[in-house]
Amino acid sequence: MDDLYNTSSVLLIDFDLSPESVAPAFLFATLSYMVILFCNLILILTIVLNKSLHQPMYIILLNLPVNDLIGSSALFPQVIKGIMSDSRTIQYSSCVAQAFFIHIYAAGTVFILTAMAYDRYIAICFPLKYNTVMTNAHIMRMITTVWLTCLVLIGVLFYLLLRLPRCRSEITHPYCDNPTLLSLVCANTAINNIYGLFIVAFSQVIANGVILYTYLQILVACFRSKQQDTRAKALQTCATHLIVFLLLECLGLFTIISYRIKNISPHLRRFMGLATLIFPPTLNPIIYGLKTKEIREKVVHFFTNKILPC
């Protein structure tokens, strides 16, 4: 294995599958990826092709399936290849690219959900000012800020990583991310660790602070409202959003913390890491597509009139 040190290749840990379980694992991974691609593309096309959905809420929502496709496409091709192939070797550049886009996905999801919470806050707490505040220019500034923040934060993270020399070649994980790439380094990684914790703290303070404040204000506004239908719809929308956010937070934070706990099961760490990249991209389009009446109606209309005409 020494001949791989400081070369262009690294080794990923295999899935340790028995011959009988290779086919089911391949089918599960392939079908999962196909479901994620199909559902997210349908959600994207539905919003893009229907002018009635070109509203602030849906324009912000559009970024969520785009981000989910980035994360899933960074993960699944390599996982499927790892299941079907005996080769554990991956080009270091490909490994870094995979890790970069996985971290972009993680950061993007947190900030997009935060932007969606802010939009719902304005819509429910200040309905008369909504169209004045949430203009197209303001929406584009929000979206640009979300993506630029992700690119800058993650770009610096990987700049700090790539400046360090490597003296190891084996990654004890089925896919690449920053902590596993950092384990290949044979230099002082204190700056990297501090900056990594800074990103986590920064994103959590921003996301949790905004979401906690906006949802408390939304709850107060809902309970003060005398209109039962408005209250029920607002609470349903916010509950759905909160479930998605909490799911991501639980999976993501456990994965981050697990890297800093030495005696935790590596199998559990791998499972939670994969779950973070599988469950949210699968559930997001289903939850937002099925729970949002306007989107659901457009999807049903598209399939009944375009795909399956009478």
Q: Which residues contact 272 (CB under 8 A, 6 or more apart)?
A: 251, 254, 255, 258
Report pLDDT for 249: 79
Domain boundaries, the chain: 19-307
Report pLDDT for 234: 65
User: Are 142 and 115 spatial neighbours (Cβ–Cβ below 8 Å)?
Assistant: yes
Largest CA distance in the chain: 72
The DSSP secondary-structure symbol of 8 reads S
Q: Supply the pTM of this predicted model.
A: 0.87
Predicted confidence band at 104 (pLDDT cuts at 50, 70, 90)? very high
Classify 89 as helix, strand or coil.
strand
* Per-residue pLDDT at 310 exceeds 60: no
Alpha carbons 60 and 115: distance in angstroms, whole number: 7
Strand 89-91 vs strand 9-12: parallel, antiparallel, or unpaired?
Answer: antiparallel
Report pLDDT for 3: 44
Nearest to 256 by CA among 199, 216, 208: 199
- pLDDT above 90: percentage of residues in the chain: 33
Joined together, the tokens standing for residue 109 give 């999801």
* Per-residue pLDDT at 218 exceeds 80: yes
Report pLDDT for 9: 80
Predicted confidence band at 99 (pLDDT cuts at 50, 70, 90)? very high
Predicted confidence band at 243 (pLDDT cuts at 50, 70, 90)? confident
Classify 90 as helix, strand or coil.
strand
Give the position of tokens 């593309």.
Answer: 41
Tell how far CA 106 is from the center of its chain: 4
Report pLDDT for 280: 86
Alpha carbons 89 and 68: distance in angstroms, whole number: 26
Class of the CATH domain delimited by 19-307:
mainly alpha
Helices marked H in 183-265 — which ranges?
190-224, 228-258
Alpha carbons 167 and 160: distance in angstroms, whole number: 16
Report pLDDT for 86: 66
Instruction: List the 9-12 sheet strands across, edge first.
Output: 89-91, 9-12, 170-171
User: Are 11 and 171 spatial neighbours (Cβ–Cβ below 8 Å)?
Assistant: yes
Report pLDDT for 34: 94
Residue range 24-52, pLDDT digits in tens: 888 988 999 999 999 899 899 889 988 88
Residue range 7-22, pLDDT digits in tens: 678 888 777 677 777 8
Give the position of tokens 């001949």.
Answer: 3
Residue range 56-73, pLDDT digits in tens: 888 999 999 999 999 999
Between 303 and 218, the higher pLDDT residue: 218
Predicted confidence band at 146 (pLDDT cuts at 50, 70, 90)? very high
